[in-house]
């Protein structure tokens, strides 16, 4: 059964006649996305914030660093990759989410402002997030973090990027301790899994929007060419960092998260899969008016606190 608070929200959205993100050009979609998030933000947690850029072969990569105010020695560090279909989202839109995770976990959270498609198609987002993780592995101490206590976290498209980073970390010997994948995209294309059709309309993220996003990111074919775009295509998942995978029972990406969690578990990766009954896509970003969404966001912070202590 659909969560009663979510049901009311979805009915209000349907009655408003708001356009589907899949029908909007990227600039208009980004503005609509910003307006949606502004309605769901929690009051900002009181943490310290620093904006800085790092420089890599891919160019300048903006970061926003969130640090708890209470003193506690070197801290665990979480690299956060935001959602938005690889097309939408930025540091400001996810500011409240990252503040809350920082406050709840007691960890330093570093949000990466990766380049967006279609202006910067695949693999630009992967390159920027990889550069941020490599920088943290080498420079975590400079921001008060412990380079041996690193985690990656992301939602939706950001969950995809976090999963890809875990694969890269294994290959490069980066000591990643944990990965939190929140309703991640893991399949190669919309339509590959049953939930893409079952919940493809009327549950926040539509299949139409997924198709538009994948074409912006991967090109006209709208299909990931390899594991850097679809972690389910990776031939070997053994040796990855322990994982928490979170999905909603009414999410168009439910099967993506479940399939990847099951594949990691089969490969011997310690994996926890949590399915939030009655919730759809985007539930951690609805924490201001969705009680179950706030609980889920708290679970993200608690799991990171425990994994990186």
Under 8 Å between Cβ of 300 and 182: yes
Sequential DSSP letters for 141-180 = GGGTEEEEEEEEEEETHHHHHHHHHHHHHHHHT--EEEEE
Which residues have C-beta within 8 Å of that of residue 57, sequence separation ≥ 6? 127, 131
103/298 Cα distance (integer angstroms):
10
Q: What distance lies between CA 40 and its chain's CA centroid?
A: 17
Under 8 Å between Cβ of 136 and 150: yes
From the list 215, 25, 216, the residue with the least C-alpha distance to 119 is 216
Structure tokens at 2: 């659909």
- Active centre residues (catalytic): 156, 251, 281
For 115, 118, 137, the CA distances from 59, given in Å and listed in that order, are 10, 18, 18
From the list 118, 52, 56, the residue with the least C-alpha distance to 84 is 118
Helix H, strand E, coil C: the string for 269-280 is: CCEEEEEECCCC
287/95 Cα distance (integer angstroms):
13
The secondary structure of residue 7, as a DSSP letter, is H
Q: Is the peptide bond before 118 cis (omega within 30 degrees of 0)?
A: yes
């Amino acid at each position: 059964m659909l969560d009663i608070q979510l049901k009311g929200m979805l009915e209000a959205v349907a009655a408003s006649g708001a356009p589907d993100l899949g029908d909007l050009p990227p600039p208009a979609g980004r503005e609509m996305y910003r307006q949606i998030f502004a309605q769901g933000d929690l009051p900002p947690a009181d943490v310290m914030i620093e904006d800085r850029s790092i420089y890599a072969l891919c160019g300048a990569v903006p970061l926003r660093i969130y640090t708890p105010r209470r003193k506690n020695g070197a801290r665990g560090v979480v690299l956060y990759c935001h959602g938005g279909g690889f097309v939408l989202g930025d540091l400001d839109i996810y500011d409240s989410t990252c503040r809350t995770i920082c406050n709840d976990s007691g960890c330093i959270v570093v949000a990466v402002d990766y380049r967006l498609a279609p202006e910067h198609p695949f693999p630009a987002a992967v390159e920027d997030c990889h550069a941020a993780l490599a920088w943290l592995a080498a420079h975590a101490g400079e921001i008060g973090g412990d380079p041996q206590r690193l985690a990656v976290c992301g939602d939706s498209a950001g969950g995809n990027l976090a999963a890809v980073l875990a694969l890269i970390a294994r290959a490069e010997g980066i000591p990643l301790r944990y990965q939190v994948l929140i309703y991640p995209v893991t399949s190669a294309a919309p339509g590959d899994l049953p939930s893409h059709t079952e919940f493809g309309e009327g549950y926040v993220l539509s299949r139409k929007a997924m198709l538009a996003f994948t074409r912006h990111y991967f090109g006209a074919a709208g299909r990931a060419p390899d594991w850097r775009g679809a972690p389910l295509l990776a031939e070997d998942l053994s040796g990855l960092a322990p994982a928490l995978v979170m999905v909603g029972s009414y999410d168009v990406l439910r099967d993506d998260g479940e399939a990847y969690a099951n594949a990691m578990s089969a490969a011997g990766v310690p994996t926890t899969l949590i399915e939030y009954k009655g919730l759809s896509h985007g539930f951690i970003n609805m924490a201001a008016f969705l009680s179950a969404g706030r609980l889920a966001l708290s679970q993200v912070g608690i799991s990171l606190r425990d994994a990186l202590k």
